[in-house]
Amino acid sequence: MLDSKIPAGTLDDKWTKYKGSVKLVNPANKRKLEVIIVGTGLAGSSAAASLGEMGYKVKAFCFQDSPRRAHSIAAQGGINAAKNYQNDGDSVYRLFYDTIKGGDYRSREANVHRLAEVSTNIIDQCVAQGVPFAREYGGLLSNRSFGGTQVQRTFYAAGQTGQQLLIGAYQALERQVALGTVEMFARHEMVELVIIDGKARGIIARNLVTGELERHFAHAVLLCTGGYGNVFYLSTNAMGSNVTAAWKAHKKGAYFANPCFTQIHPTCIPVSGDHQSKLTLMSESLRNDGRIWVPVKQGDTRNPNDIPESERDYYLERRYPAFGNLVPRDVASRAAKERCDAGYGVGSSKQAVYLDYAAAIQRYGKAEVSKNNLGNISAEEITQLGRDVVKEKYGNLFTMYEKITGENPYNVPMRIYPAVHYTMGGLWVDYELKTTIDGLYALGEANFSDHGANRLGASALMQGLADGYFVIPYTLGNYLSDDIGTGLIPTDHPAFVEAEHTASERINKLMSIKGTKTVESFHKRLGKIIWNECGMARSEAGLKKAIKDLADLKQEFWSDVRIPGEINEMNPELDKAGRVADFIELGQLMCLDALERNESCGGHFREEYQTPDGEALRDDTNYMYVAAWENKPDGWNLHKENLVYEIVKPSQRSYK
């Protein structure tokens, strides 16, 4: 039976009470306790820095050449916090409520409330580290809006908020490296989890430069390894983002929760051809000012600037007048797909809609005229003033769009289409962020807990840093306080020997196949299957077919993949092969989970279950649970954690 260990008490009192009564570890004992952290994005870096500051001996691992490269760096738009600096009615409760509703009532109330509570501390912490957030002329912090909310609670640093937050956490991490509390292992990948007497006690890591396998002991292991969006091949994730560490843990007993809850982001640059290796996000913040439309006429090939206002369909504003262009991501993505499938798409592929800044440029231009008393100036000059304002707010995004497409978005509307961006599913964790394996924790996007079936914009950064800075420093002590007598377990323990042997056997097997098809070709085929059958729309028949196709693909992979080079050298193809092999298995579980969930909710849209106007139709009577999957030699067992809503009353989500 899954025990989420939610503390007793009223919702807004749980975390305070927990912190006040949790077991502590004294400073002398902390020095004797070792913690392994895998991944150095926002969750991993912030956890490593905080635990190092507290006195634990930390070993941090990342596959990139420096911890600063982790993919949190690419987050663009911002980070939410219930500061209510704008005096627009925000509060901890409202951030909590928006997140629960945005997640379509499939997340855990207690976790989400804690997230909203610590959100304000995150902003303070980051400012203190020197994170250069955007500011107003009075010197105070600036805010903007994101989807699924009606307040302005998003803090930002141009379109590079993730970069600035990660650099802050990275610097805090490097400070601990200098102080000797954190040891950093870059270009290392976790390839096995080591379990001794039912507890996570270390990892086998592969040194990606030499190919050697290394044994690392710790009293506890934290997986901060991000999401699994690259199962789709094309996504906004970095090329190296992978599920391998989480998957190894899953195979050793950690339950995997809600794998079919994946987020398709509505505003990305469309695919341009078969050569495409990844997709690029255009921040949700652009929906603050940009308007989304398609032509009223099907198959209209006119230049967008030649299509008059009366022949444009601003379909989000039409369908969702209360939230307009700022509906949540799942809703906006489905609406774009609906228009394109119905034949209103634009661009050469017809798989795109317009994101238009013309009106915003005029509005800002006129505001500048008024603010600076410019009276008599030409229309061109007003446009230029407006462009300058837009450039200050979103300049790097506009530049990126132009580099990729060759078109200037200040002059013509951007073409955008939904793309895989984030995964709400992940390793099942309890209130303390502990997985079903004792001593193994999952933080940030790697866990499942806070976003339900759909994440709201600017909440991923919030969750990663909440878990790392403000949650794990308390909850880890509650576990390690019972472990102060354990001492160091030597890495010649049979469990380490066996885990290394398993990893080594698998690598040898991969290299010995010597087949005919490249790793990349398998990854592309995997992505096509998942995108077509477990993407924006899913059906029973499609999922059943995908499960069969994936079984075939897995078999073909293990009999016909070709990996060049040697084991004991830098071999990126071998690294990739291990990751793709795990993605194929994860894909099977995603489809199984999607098939089992006979309802639509958030990003999980089963075609059979929709309202008459095409919205997601939940089934709270039968599916108000977290699906936590246990890996078995011959498949998976489903465990259910029933979701109990004490405060929020689930209802049909409406943004109209």
Partner 1 sequence: MQHYSMNLKLNVWRQKNSIDAGHFETYDVNDISSEMSFLEMIDVLNERMIAEGKSPIAFDHDCREGICGMCSMVIDGRPHGPWEGTTTCQLHMRAFKDGDVITVEPFRANAFPVVKDLMVNRGAFDRIIQAGGYVSVNTGNAVDGNSIPVEKDKADDAFAAASCIGCGACVAACKNASAMLFVSAKVSHLALLPQGEPEKRQRVKSMIAQMDKEGFGSCTNTYACEAECPKEISVLNIARLNREYLHSSLSGDFE
Is 171 a residue that touches partner 1 (CB under 8 A)? yes
State which of residues 18, 105, 146, 170 lies at the interface with partner 1 (CB under 8 A): 170
Site for partner 1 in 141-160 (CB under 8 A): 141, 157-158, 160
- The stretch near partner 1 (CB under 8 A) out of 173-181, 336-344, 454-462, 633-641 is 173-181
Smallest separation, CB 418 to partner 1 (Å)? 17
- The stretch near partner 1 (CB under 8 A) out of 16-24, 127-135, 328-336, 434-442 is 127-135
Task: Confirm if 393 and 289 have CB atoms less than 8 A apart.
Answer: yes
Distances (CA, A) of 445 to 48, 331, 571: 16, 21, 27
Task: Confirm if 48 and 182 have CB atoms less than 8 A apart.
Answer: yes
Smallest separation, CB 236 to partner 1 (Å)? 8
- The stretch near partner 1 (CB under 8 A) out of 309-317, 515-523, 587-595, 631-639 is 515-523
Tokens of 531: 């995108």
Measured between alpha carbons, how far is 105 from 364 in angstroms, rounded to an integer?
38
194: amino acid identity, one letter: V
User: Nearer Cβ to partner 1, position 468 or 603?
Assistant: 468
Smallest separation, CB 511 to partner 1 (Å)? 13
By DSSP bridging, strand 440-442 and strand 220-223 are: parallel
Smallest separation, CB 257 to partner 1 (Å)? 27
User: Nearer Cβ to partner 1, position 180 or 375?
Assistant: 180
CA dihedral 195, 196, 202, 204 (to 10 degrees): -60
Is 191 a residue that touches partner 1 (CB under 8 A)? no
Is 137 a residue that touches partner 1 (CB under 8 A)? yes
The residues, any chain, with a CB within 8 Å of residue 620's CB and separated by 6 or more, are 105, 650
Considering only CA atoms, which of 249, 200, 254, 259 is closest in space to residue 227? Answer: 259
Is 649 a residue that touches partner 1 (CB under 8 A)? no
Site for partner 1 in 273-332 (CB under 8 A): 273, 275-278, 280-281
Measured between alpha carbons, how far is 589 from 635 in angstroms, rounded to an integer?
9
State which of residues 4, 46, 145, 491 lies at the interface with partner 1 (CB under 8 A): 46
Smallest separation, CB 138 to partner 1 (Å)? 6
Site for partner 1 in 417-446 (CB under 8 A): none
Is 174 a residue that touches partner 1 (CB under 8 A)? yes
User: Nearer Cβ to partner 1, position 388 or 438?
Assistant: 388
- Count the site residues for partner 1 by CB under 8 A: 84
Task: Confirm if 452 and 107 have CB atoms less than 8 A apart.
Answer: yes
Task: Confirm if 330 and 603 have CB atoms less than 8 A apart.
Answer: yes
The DSSP-derived string for 360-391 is HHHHHHHHHHHHTT--S--HHHHHHHHHHHHH
State which of residues 299, 321, 487, 564 lies at the interface with partner 1 (CB under 8 A): 564
Contact map string, positions 595 to 634, toward partner 1, x by CB under 8 A: ----------------------------------------
Smallest separation, CB 35 to partner 1 (Å)? 15
Is 45 a residue that touches partner 1 (CB under 8 A)? no
Site for partner 1 in 453-492 (CB under 8 A): 469-470, 473
Tokens of 417: 């289409």
Considering only CA atoms, which of 38, 32, 37, 40 is closest in space to residue 56? Answer: 32
Is 242 a residue that touches partner 1 (CB under 8 A)? no
Query: In this structure, what are the phi and psi dihedrals at residue 268, rounded to the nearest 5 degrees?
Result: -130, 160
Smallest separation, CB 110 to partner 1 (Å)? 22
Strands (E), 580-646: 625-632, 635-642
Task: Confirm if 154 and 458 have CB atoms less than 8 A apart.
Answer: yes
Smallest separation, CB 468 to partner 1 (Å)? 9
595: amino acid identity, one letter: L
Tokens of 165: 């937050």
Task: Confirm if 108 and 643 have CB atoms less than 8 A apart.
Answer: yes
Task: Confirm if 142 and 285 have CB atoms less than 8 A apart.
Answer: no
Q: What 3-state class would DSSP assign to 200?
A: strand
* Exposure on the CB side of residue 464, measured as CA atoms within 13 A: 33
User: Nearer Cβ to partner 1, position 220 or 577?
Assistant: 577
State which of residues 19, 175, 350, 639 lies at the interface with partner 1 (CB under 8 A): 175
Is 127 a residue that touches partner 1 (CB under 8 A)? yes
- The stretch near partner 1 (CB under 8 A) out of 232-240, 318-326, 593-601, 619-627 is 232-240
Smallest separation, CB 405 to partner 1 (Å)? 8
Is 556 a residue that touches partner 1 (CB under 8 A)? no
Task: Confirm if 291 and 274 have CB atoms less than 8 A apart.
Answer: no
Is 398 a residue that touches partner 1 (CB under 8 A)? no
State which of residues 30, 59, 69, 455 lies at the interface with partner 1 (CB under 8 A): 69
State which of residues 2, 6, 22, 134 lies at the interface with partner 1 (CB under 8 A): 134
